[in-house]
Structure 1
């Protein structure tokens, strides 16, 4: 009986460990090296969008946390926010990933004051050391302008949207599991600079999953011999990663909505039609969660689109004027 109890306990504790490529049960690897995070499935889907007929000049002044929520704590009030405050930076990165940097010409607006200060320093230095009364436009050309503004923010962070667990025990030996889901929601809208019209809006959500596994034993295995053991393992999906995927999903939706509304278009309509059709089905609710996940995996497995180099010309040329007015009515 004593041997059987130890074998059962060992099997339960091993079940809480991960299995490596070699087939051996191992604990999670602890590493102090800095790494580049792996691409998310939504990020891969953005990169595989076919090129546009011409790039859209776009500006992001900010993408803020509009929930005002603080991170929940069991010990009391905390000053940490529930979600990342770097939504604007994540949004700019997602716009760059769209079509491998071919969809959008992104102009800096979030730190515009710093940019203008540096340009003023260049102007003053050239006046003092080169004696230029009029600054050479080749050395300091005019800033690019945007035809579309992207506005919005993080509009929801709901905790414990789904909770549950299970457990069992026998003769002092037991196991348990618990899980919880939170949901983060982002809102994104495209606004025409020329008319101020809201061209299109998109809302995207992403669940944040947490799971806990544990096993314990407390029993006498022999006379005056008490066995007591406990082991647990908890996984929490990073909030920042969930926010990143929600923003990437919103950018993907903005592109498809713009194509659907004829605000912009693919360079090759036949190449973009399958993605647009799948987006329409998903928006209409005709695809369940599994079908959507399978579609995203198929898109991620597609070969990358051929990337053509693109040169950003000074704003006085017709090329930039057309880019700035692509989506303006």
Structure 2
């Protein structure tokens, strides 16, 4: 037993020394990771590969708010942090600028317009102070023909929960999982008429998995050695929101093509993408129908009949 205590003491000493070196800056912390770009999603890759349009669209995003009103789920105490990101407009603007490798949208700045107007005023005042009446004015601001509106309209927690575990002779483990669903709504509004010309709603599932294992053994008659290990993996909620917005933009483009609001520059290439989207929708609808109980199963059983005497 003394040997075990000495090993534990040695491990603690090593951890303290290593931590001291990390804090002092003599070594690089092996746990930290460098900053990276946002990883690509499957939907984002497909959106970036869209064929170019016949004409680039001028769109404006004023806001894309969090309309869920949901806080982070916590079983122990009240959580005041929001369950989803508050930067939906920034994500939407970024997705729009990258759609079709940047060929689909001219995104007009409207989310934070005041600094832009103030900077233009400073430039104009400076030119007037230096050049007087001969000062050349700034070109007019570009205006948008379509407003993109909507937001994050739903965050359903614990849509599916479950787990499994087993223990035999003091050795065992268990796994638990949870699914949350975030819902995104996006619509295109004509500036000239105020009519909603296209509207889509998408969902994205967020997974959380917990894996634990434990074991114990009698080191002596009155001494128990117990060991536990585990990890938790949570899908990034912000990345899930991004993919939901990407799918919303992707679907909105195709809704506009169907309504003949805009079109692809290469009609055959655009038709191929349209067929692929229709096949995906049919597959999803077929899966939902097969998982839905039939009406016969939901119908009440027939009333018993009296036997003939």
Query: Considering the TM-score relative to the shorter chain, is it more than 0.5?
Result: yes
Partner Cα separation in structure 2 for residue 170 and residue 239 of structure 1? 37
Partner Cα separation in structure 2 for residue 78 and residue 247 of structure 1? 26
Matched residues, number: 258
SS in 2 for 1:227: strand
Partner Cα separation in structure 2 for residue 90 and residue 195 of structure 1? 27
Partner Cα separation in structure 2 for residue 45 and residue 132 of structure 1? 52
1:224 shift after superposition: 5.0
SS in 2 for 1:256: helix
1:183 and 1:206 in contact (8 A); partners too: yes
Q: In the alignment, which of 144, 149, 152 is matched to residue 150 of structure 2?
A: 152
1:33 shift after superposition: 1.4
1:180 and 1:210 in contact (8 A); partners too: yes
- 2:88 maps to what in 1? 87
Q: In the alignment, which of 187, 190, 213 is matched to residue 189 of structure 1?
A: 187
1:78 shift after superposition: 2.5
Q: How does 1:216-227 map to 2 (within 5 A)?
A: 216-220=214-218, 223=221, 226-227=224-225
Q: In the alignment, which of 137, 140, 143 is matched to residue 142 of structure 1?
A: 140
Segments of structure 1 that go 5 or more residues without pairing to the other structure are 1-28, 290-329
1:171 and 1:219 in contact (8 A); partners too: no
Structure with greater Cα Rg: 2
Give CA deviations for 1:95-148 in whole Å, capped at 9, x if unaligned: 011101100011100011111111111111111121136x524xx111111110
Partner Cα separation in structure 2 for residue 157 and residue 171 of structure 1? 42
1:221 shift after superposition: 5.8
- 2:276 maps to what in 1? 278
Q: With structure 1 as the length reference, what TM-score do the two structures score?
A: 0.75
How large is the RMSD of aligned CA atoms in angstroms?
Answer: 1.7
- 1:131 maps to what in 2? 132
- 1:267 maps to what in 2? 265
1:222 shift after superposition: 6.0
1:239 and 2:237 matched? yes
Partner Cα separation in structure 2 for residue 143 and residue 221 of structure 1? 78
SS in 1 for 2:133: coil
Partner Cα separation in structure 1 for residue 273 and residue 133 of structure 2? 53
SS in 2 for 1:132: helix
Partner Cα separation in structure 2 for residue 288 and residue 264 of structure 1? 31
Q: How does 1:40-51 map to 2 (within 5 A)?
A: 40-51=41-52
- Counting helix residues as a fraction of each chain, which structure ranks higher? 2
- 1:122 maps to what in 2? 123
1:280 shift after superposition: 2.2
Q: With structure 2 as the length reference, what TM-score do the two structures score?
A: 0.79
Give CA deviations for 1:17-75 in whole Å, capped at 9, x if unaligned: xxxxxxxxxxxx83331112321111111110000001011000000001111222233
Partner Cα separation in structure 1 for residue 90 and residue 163 of structure 2? 37
1:148 and 1:190 in contact (8 A); partners too: yes
